[in-house]
Structure formats: structure tokens, C-alpha cells
Amino acid sequence: MKKTINNRAWFLIAPVVIVVLFSALLPVMTVVNYSVQDAMAENHFFWNGDTWFRDLLDPSTEIGARFSGALERNLIFSFVILLIEVPLGIALSLALPRRGWAVGPSLVLIALPMLIPWNVVGTMWQIFARADIGLFGAALNGLGLNYNDTQDPVSAWFTILVIDVWHWTPLVILLSYAGLRAIPDAFYQAARIDAASRWAVFLKIELPKLQRVLVLAILLRFMQSFMIYTEPFVVTGGGPGNATTFLSIDLVKIALGQVDLGSAAAMSLVYYLITISLCWIFFTAMSQLDMLKEA
């Protein structure tokens, strides 16, 4: 009997697909349009070609130097975040209870920081980090450390790192915990029979089973950290100087502060392409590693 294929379901989802495509493509088309034009008084635009892109990618120009500096800060910040949050998230997920009444409360408490909006997180830590009355800043100064996130670049970087680790390590913990819970008990029973040490169980059983979950965790954490905006904008304003001026903050300054739409549009497109390219590199490298291990 020949099976009849019913494609009428496409008529139900077609309006949603059209709306999503329209809402996604229209802003991109607008940005592309601005990136190849220059504006004079009274919003008179004229063709500018690839001038903005050439200036942006040339470190000898003002906009090029700003872009390369902000990109360097973004890359350093994202890689430091991954080096801290991924191992920390795995370690804390291993310490969580697997059974019993404590599982639910533990997961809820861990997930709480992720439920707080970005702007609220920035406002909270802006107060916590104050050197005079903030719990975080006053405690560090009380320990004899010269902490001031508004005047010292090292303090500003440390504050932004602490904020991100506090806010988003729970995501790595929850993903890792879900991966650990998915490992069949038979693997642990075989390890007990072989008298395997705890370290051997982690290296031979848990870490390989977590690899696909960690791919997702690394991609999510890299994308969010590479596009960070609200926390440094609220807490440090991109300062002191340009110490915490990441690409997102510099992009807003150029677009809204200087009203330089052409340069801002070119920067946003290059920023977008860099983010997509780095995510693709991460995903491809980790997927190939997983395939090599399975082979």
C-alpha cells in the first residue's frame, strides 16, 4: 500500500516562517545598506562602497585601531571565561547529589542567578563593587587589596569576570549535570567491579560521555561572552579608559554617540561574521575530536 504524504502542515507554519524571516532579514538588509553609504546633513546618503570596511580592517586608521583593540579585549575575555567556567561547572556538577530530596533544592539554587535579567545583574554589581559601601569592593579593600573598578583597569576586568562567572557558570553546571544523569548505571557498576579510582571513572566514563554536552555549553558560553554588553556598560561604562570597552560597547558609542551609521554598520557586520566563524570553528573542531574518539 502506497503511503500518502500530507504536506498541508506547511500551510500552518508558513505564516510563522515568513514573519521570522522578515523580522530577521529586514534589519540585516538595513545594516548592509548603511555599511556601503555615507550620510551628509539632513540624512542625504550617497554611495561609499567598501570604504568603511577598508578603514575598519586597517589598524592604522582611527576606527581600525579602535576595532582591533576592542576585538582583542573580546577574545581575551571570552577565552578566559571558558577556561574558568567550563572546568568549574564540571567540578560543581560532579559535587551535586544525584538522588534524594536535596536534588531539587540544589538545582533551583544553582539556577537562580540565570533568572536575573542582565540589567538587574549590572545594577546589583555596580553597588556591590563600590569601594566604599559595596560588600564586594569593601571586603577586598578590607583584605588590603587596592580595589577600585572605576579607576583601576585590573579591578575593572576582575569585576566583569566575577560577574560573568557568577551569572553564567550555572548554565554549564546544569548542562553537565544533565549529561551525568544520562550515563547508565551499568558503566559505574563495571567501574566498581574493576576497582577503578574516582579519577579514572571521571576520565574514562564521565568526561567522554559529557563531550557532546560540553560542545553545547562551550558554544553558548562563547557566544554570550563574546557579545557581552549590559554588565560592563552598567558597571564600568567601558572604562577606566577603554579597559572594558568591548566590541558591543564601542559599536553603540559609534552608532549612537557619534551617529556614524556607516562605520557602525560595517563594524556590526564584521562583528557578526567573526562571531559566526569562531562558533563554526569551535563546533567543527570539537565534532571532529568526538568522531576521532569514536573511531
Residue 19's pLDDT band (cuts 50, 70, 90): confident
The letter for the amino acid at 261 is L
Q: Is 250 exposed, middle or buried (0-12, 13-18, 19+ CB in 10 A)?
A: buried
- Pairwise CA distance, residues 25 & 21, whole Å: 6
Quote the mean pLDDT of the chain.
87
Q: Is 160 exposed, middle or buried (0-12, 13-18, 19+ CB in 10 A)?
A: buried
Model-level pTM? Answer: 0.86
When mean pLDDT is compared across 8-17, 81-90, 227-236, the lowest value belongs to 8-17
Q: Is 140 exposed, middle or buried (0-12, 13-18, 19+ CB in 10 A)?
A: buried
- What is the CATH class of 60-294? mainly alpha
Q: Tell me what the mean pLDDT of segment 138-145 comes to.
A: 88
Which tens digits make up the pLDDT trace of 75-84? 999 999 999 9
| pLDDT surpasses 80 at 8 | no
